[in-house]
Structure formats: C-alpha cells, structure tokens
Amino acid sequence: MVTHPLELINVSKAFGGLRVAHNVSFSVAASGITALIGPNGAGKTTIFNLVSGVYSVDSGQILLAGNDVTTVPSRFRIKHGIARNFQNIRLMQHLTVTENLMLGQHIKTHGLKDLFRPFRFLPNYKWQREAREALAEAGLVDYADATVTALPYGIRKRVDLVRALMADPKLLMLDEPAAGLNASEANDLMEELSRISKAGVALLIVEHDMNFIRNLCQQIIVLNFGEKIAEGSMAEIQKNPAVREAYLGTDEGEAHAS
C-alpha cells in the first residue's frame, strides 16, 4: 500500500451553525505538487488549520505518513513530517533572517515551548551554518544578516518558505504563497517551489492565481462551501460543470477565484 504524506478521511468541522468542512476526503501524493482551490470562504485555510492541529475536527480522521494524528496536539504533528506557512507571514520582525531560520530548526529539535527561550541556542554554530546553507540554496544568502523589517515583501515571503523548510518536512503546506507578489516575484517563487518539489518534498498549495496552479500542480482539489466538489488535473477540473458553476461569471467558466 502506498503511504501518503497526508490523508483526510471524511473530515467535518462546524463553527457554531456554520459548516466549514463537510466530509472532506483526499490524499496528497508523496511527490509532486497538489493544489487546494476554491472561492473565498470555501474552507481552504480551515483545512490547513485542521491538518496542522490549530483546530480539532468534529468527525473524521487525519493521517500523516500513515499515522492517525486526529487527536495529536499541534506541536507533535511536526514530528510526522509537516510544515506550513500562514496566510500572513509570521517571521519575527526584529530578528535577522538567519535568526528566524534558526528558530525554524529549533522547533524541529525541541518543540514549540522552547520558543519562549529562543536565545539559548544562539551560540549554536552548526545551526547557524545550516541556516546559511539553506539560504544559499534558495539564492538568498545576501540577506542572511538583514533584519526582517528591512526586507522587501517578496523576499520576506521567500525567507518564510525557507523557514518552513528548516524543519525538514515531508509535506509542506503553503497558504496563498503568491499573494501580493508581482509577476517576476511570482516566477521566482514558482522556480523555488519546483526546486523544493524535485528535492523530494510533497507540496500542498492553496492559491488563487490560476496561472501559478496551471504551471506547478499535477493534482487539483476543489472545495466549495466546505465540500470537495472535484479532483483531478487542471484539464479535468476545468471541464467539470460543478467547478464552472462554483466560479460562475469568469472567463469561459475557467476556475479563477477572487
């Protein structure tokens, strides 16, 4: 049997009376890039929050690398190979790029509670070297000593991505990584994500930019009102009547959100 880095089985979640995920099932392939798309409010970020354990499910199961983590606390799910970004960047603004990446490693080795005493590890030169190597691979070494506040937005987003990779994930989940980027920054990000994918990390991406999805993703899962309405290649989901209806009013019924 093939083990998927992530599998959702009939996952449901409601906030008060609002059903935000309803019997959602899908799995993410061990290699390649999977997209999770859908109109605003479809439940995409909620799925990320359920997978990473920010929210608990009402019913259903979440499996990471074949292990049922449905009731496992968020901080322990990292040990099962997932890392994520957030829809808004969560770098420590007053720290340097290298220091932020070292925090990413710290989570891998010690767990989130140690974030309350982050400076204990600053003399750790091995981690510093690894952080710099990761920056060099991403073409960002020039920014190693810059504080986050001094960086342009596009660079911050790429640093945030390297930070997520410092935990050595098997699956990286990215919520709208291209949001707010100009065309050239989005291209750089696409290249970076291909590189990460080829290095053996499975990617699950929420993104509204359909050009981005078309170029990068082999498998696409479509949500609408908390339900999965389609799954397949770009060509398949573009032909799907339910998808066209969900995105009504756009170019030739092409999936295109926000």
Ligand X SMILES: Nc1ncnc2c1ncn2[C@@H]1O[C@H](COP(=O)(O)OP(=O)(O)OP(=O)(O)O)[C@@H](O)[C@H]1O
Instruction: Tell me whether residue 44 or residue 158 sits nearer to ligand X (CB atom).
Output: 44
Residue 104 partner contact from ligand X, Mg ion, none using kind-dependent CB cut-offs of 5 to 8 Å: none
In the complex, minimum distance from the CB of residue 217 to ligand X, in angstroms, rounded to a whole number? 16
Q: Select from 38, 53, 60, 177 the one that contacts ligand X (CB under 6 A).
A: 38
In the complex, minimum distance from the CB of residue 233 to ligand X, in angstroms, rounded to a whole number? 21
Does the footprint of Mg ion cover residue 45 (CB under 5 A)?
yes
Instruction: Tell me whether residue 44 or residue 106 sits nearer to ligand X (CB atom).
Output: 44
Residue 46 partner contact from ligand X, Mg ion, none using kind-dependent CB cut-offs of 5 to 8 Å: ligand X
In the complex, minimum distance from the CB of residue 255 to ligand X, in angstroms, rounded to a whole number? 13
Does the footprint of Mg ion cover residue 240 (CB under 5 A)?
no
> 202-206 and 171-175 as β-strands: parallel, antiparallel, unpaired?
parallel
- Please spell the DSSP secondary structure of the chain, one letter per residue: -PPPSEEEEEEEEEETTEEEEEEEEEEE-SSSEEEEE-STTSSHHHHHHHHHTSS--SEEEEEETTEE-TTS-HHHHGGGTEEE--SS----TTSBHHHHHHHHHHHHHH-GGGGGSGGGGTT-HHHHHHHHHHHHHTT-GGGTTSBGGGS-HHHHHHHHHHHHHTT--SEEEEESTTTT--HHHHHHHHHHHHHHHHTT-EEEEE-S-HHHHHHH-SEEEEEETTEEEEEE-HHHHHH-HHHHHHTTTSGGG-----
* Binding piece for Mg ion, criterion CB under 5 A, among 39-47, 49-57, 127-135, 143-151: 39-47
Residue 41 partner contact from ligand X, Mg ion, none using kind-dependent CB cut-offs of 5 to 8 Å: ligand X
Number of residues binding to ligand X, judged by CB under 6 A: 11
* Binding piece for ligand X, criterion CB under 6 A, among 33-41, 99-107, 125-133, 193-201: 33-41
d(CA 133, CA 135): 5
Residue 42 partner contact from ligand X, Mg ion, none using kind-dependent CB cut-offs of 5 to 8 Å: ligand X
Q: Select from 3, 10, 15, 90 the one that contacts ligand X (CB under 6 A).
A: 15
Sign of CA dihedral 69, 73, 79, 83: positive
Residues 40-69 that bind ligand X (CB under 6 A): 40-46
Residues that bind ligand X (CB under 6 A): 15, 18, 20, 38, 40-46
Q: In the complex, which residues of this chain contact Mg ion (CB under 5 A)?
A: 44-45
